[in-house]
Amino acid sequence: MKVFKFGGASVKDAIAVKNVVEIIRLFPKDKIVVVISAMGKTTNALEVIVDAIWTKNETVFYEKLAEIKAFHTAILDHLFSSGAHTIYTELDRVFAAMEMQFKGEISDNYNREYDQIVSLGEVISTLIVESYFRETGLHSKWMDARSLIRTNTCFRDAEIDWNCTEELIQKNVLPIFDQYPIVVTQGFIGHTPEYLTTTLGREGSDFTAGIFAYCLNAENVTIWKDVPGMLNADPKYFTDTVKLNKISFNEAIELAYYGASVIHPKTLKPLQNKNIPLFVKSFIEPLKAGTEIQQSAEFDTLVPSFIFKLNQTLISFRTRDFSFIVESHLGEIFNKLSALGVKINLMQNSALSFSILVDAQKINMQSILDSFQEQFEVRYNEGLELVTIRHYDQPTIERVTAGKEKLLEQFDRLTARIILK
Ligand code: ASP
Ligand code: MG
C-alpha cells in the first residue's frame, strides 16, 4: 500500500483536480491512501471566518462565506456536468454547518472554535475530489480523518495518541481495502477523545500522510508538490537551485527543522521509525524521480543546502546587578519563555548575557518585556534574518551573506547558522 499526499496547490482548481486523477491512474495496481489538504488558500479564508464568528462580525462572515462558496462551486461546475449531482447538496450541508456556528453559541476557547471551522476546508476538498474520482470511474471511498486520528485536546497544535490512532486506522481502513483500491481522506485534522475536531498545526497534512503510512505499514509515501523535489535552497529566492536526489531521514529532519518548507517537520520521524521511504515529487512532471528520503546517509553531503528565516528578532537578557548569567538564571528565563509560548530558533550565552532568536510574528514583544523587565535588562534587535547552511563551505557562506552584516555565527561540524542584518 502507498500513501499519497496532495497539498492545497495541487488541488487549487478544476484543472489541478483533473491532474490528480491522471496521477492516480499511473498506479492502477496499487492500493493508495490519498491524503488531501484544503483547496488553494481556503485555510486562510477559513481563518477569517473564525475571526468573524468570534467577533460576531456578520458582514465579514457572510462576505467570506460567499467567497468560499463561489470558489468551490466554480470548481464543481468545471468538474461535474450536472448541477443536480449530489456533491452540491453535500457541500451545502457543510456551508450550513458554518452558518450554524455563526448563529449559535460558541465556547470561550478560541482555539477550539478555530479547529471546528478551519477543519472544514479539508472536508470540502476531499468531498469534491473523491466524488470526482468516482465520476471518472476510479473505485474510491471517502473516509473521515476526524474519526481515525485521535489526539489530545491541544487545539490548533494537537498531539497524536499513537496507540489509539493505530488501532482506529487498522480496524477501519484495512477492511476498506478489501473492496476499494483507493481511500481518500483529509490531511491536518483529527479528534479528541470527546469527538471534538482538532487540527495538527498549519501545513499539517504532510504529517497526516506520515501517520497513515506508519499505522498501515505502508510501502512508501509520496508528497506531490509544485517543485521537482527537495531543493538545496528555496526557489522563491534563488534561481540556480540543485535538487537533492537522495537524502537520509536525519538530514531531511534537520532541513525541515531549520525551516525548509517542503515538508512539515513532524512528518519524517514516524516514517524513519518504520523505515518507510518518502518521495517528494512534482505533480507537474509525475514521472520524474524527485527526491527520495530514506535511511542511508551516503549521499547527504554532496550539496550544501541553505535555508533562510526572515523577520527574526534577537532578544538578549542581562542581569540587573551585572552578575554573571548562571544556570539558575537560565532556568528562570526558560520557564518564563515557555510560559509565554516563545519558540527559540537559536540561542547563545556569554558571561553577562543570554540571547535568543525568535520569529517576530510569533511573539508578543510587550509581554516578554513585561515578564522579564523587573529582573533582567532586555534588549532587542528586529528585522534580522537567520540563514542555516547544512554541509557548509566557504563559497556558500560568502554567497548567502554577501552585502549583509553578520551579527552572530554558530558553526558545528555540519551546520553553520548566521544571523544577518
Ligand atoms: N490546509 C492546512 C493549511 O493550509 C493544512 C495543510 O495544507 O497542510 O495549513
Ligand atoms: Mg498547504
Task: Give the integer Cα–Cα distance in Å for 394 and 414.
Answer: 13
Determine the distance separating the centroid of ligand 1 and the alpha carbon of 200, expressed in angstroms. Answer: 9
**Ligand 1 atom 6 nearest Cα:** 203
203 within ligand 1 shell (Cβ under 6 A):
yes
Q: Pick from 9, 26, 32: which is nearest to 286 by CA?
A: 26
Atom of ligand 1 nearest to the CA of 121: 1
Is the beta carbon of 156 within 6 A of some atom in ligand 1?
A: no
**CA–CA separation, 12 and 72 (whole Å):** 10
- Chain position carrying cell 473564525: 50
Q: Is 43 in the pocket of ligand 1 (CB under 6 A)?
A: yes
**Ligand 2 centroid distance, CA of 11 (Å):** 10
Query: In the prediction, which pLDDT does 334 show?
Result: 97
Contacts of 243 (CB under 8 A, 6+ apart): 228, 229, 230, 231, 232, 290, 291
Which atom of ligand 1 has the smallest separation from the CA of 188? 5
Structure confidence at residue 78 (pLDDT):
97
Closest Cα to atom 5 of ligand 1: 203
CB 8 near ligand 1, within 6 Å: yes
CB-CB contact of 33 with 183 (8 Å)? yes
| Residue ranges in the chain modelled with pLDDT below 70 | none
**Residue 25 amino acid letter:** R
CA angle, residues 314, 319, 321, in degrees to nearest 5? 150
Q: What are phi and psi of 241, to 5 degrees?
A: -85, 160
List the grid coordinates of 398.
Answer: 560568502
pLDDT number for residue 177: 98
Ligand nearest to the CA of 43: 1
User: From the CB of 205, is ligand 1 less than 6 Å away?
Assistant: yes
Is the CB–ligand 1 distance for residue 404 below 6 Å? no
Q: Is the CB of 35 under 6 A from ligand 1?
A: no
Residue 315, φ and ψ in degrees, nearest 5: -115, 130
Sequence-distant (≥ 6) Cβ neighbours of residue 195 within 8 angstroms = 146, 147
Residue 1, C-beta contacts closer than 8 angstroms, at least 6 positions apart:
30, 31, 32, 33, 177, 216, 217, 218, 219
Distance from the CA of 140 to the center of ligand 1, in angstroms?
A: 23
Going from the Cα of 6 to the center of ligand 2, the distance in angstroms, rounded, reads: 9
Among residues 201, 101, 104, 191, which one has the least CA distance to residue 153?
191
- Tens digits of residue pLDDT in 64-87: 999 999 999 999 999 999 989 999
229 touches ligand 1 (CB under 6 Å): no
C-alpha 26 – ligand 1 centre gap (Å): 26
Q: Which position has the grid cell 538578549?
A: 316
The count of other CB atoms within 10 Å of the CB of residue 17 is 24
Instruction: Determine if ligand 1 sits within 6 Å of the CB of residue 272.
Output: no
Count Cα neighbours of 21 within 13 Å in the Cβ-side half-sphere: 20
Would you call 188 helix, strand, or coil by DSSP?
Answer: coil
| Distance from Cα 210 to the centre of ligand 1, integer Å | 15
- The protein residue whose alpha carbon is closest to atom 2 in ligand 1 is 203
CB 165 within 8 A of CB 149: yes
Q: Which residues lie below 8 Å from residue 373, measured CB to CB, with a gap of 6+?
A: none
pLDDT on residue 108: 95
